[in-house]
Amino acid sequence: MPWALLIILGVWILLILLTRYVSVASIAASFVLPFATWFTTSHDIGLTAVTGAMAFLASANTAANIQRLLDGTEHRIRFKRRRFAP
């Protein structure tokens, strides 16, 4: 399912750049995976069901991340390098 992988990778990268939260990008990518599978595999019900189950299992382990996001305590990625004083 290379096309589905490219779609969810694009979603993941876009959300990392927009939000700087790995957890938001990962949750969204896992949510999109079954839909990307459905549309890129000519509506293969078996693969869609498997990726749907994978997305459910992935999201079941994110309750702590979601709580940290709601509390505002989730860590963000920093893209800038720190400058060291000479």
pLDDT at 81 over 80: no
Q: Domain containing 56: what range?
A: 2-71
Q: Is 45 part of a structural domain of the chain?
A: yes
Q: Is 85 part of a structural domain of the chain?
A: no
Confidence of residue 84 (pLDDT cuts 50, 70, 90): low
Q: State the Cα–Cα distance between residues 55 and 75, nearest whole angstrom.
A: 23
Alpha-carbon distances of 34 from 4, 10, 11, 55, 77, rounded to whole Å: 9, 15, 13, 7, 27
Give the count of domains, the chain: 1
Q: Is 84 part of a structural domain of the chain?
A: no
pLDDT digits (tens, 9 = 90+) for 47-67: 999 999 999 998 888 888 889
What interhelical angle do 45-60 and 22-40 show, nearest 10? 170
Q: Is 34 part of a structural domain of the chain?
A: yes
pLDDT digits (tens, 9 = 90+) for 11-40: 999 999 999 999 999 999 999 999 999 999
Look up the pTM and report it: 0.81
Q: State the Cα–Cα distance between residues 62 and 26, nearest whole angstrom.
A: 9
* pLDDT for 22: 92
Q: Is 81 part of a structural domain of the chain?
A: no
* pLDDT for 62: 87
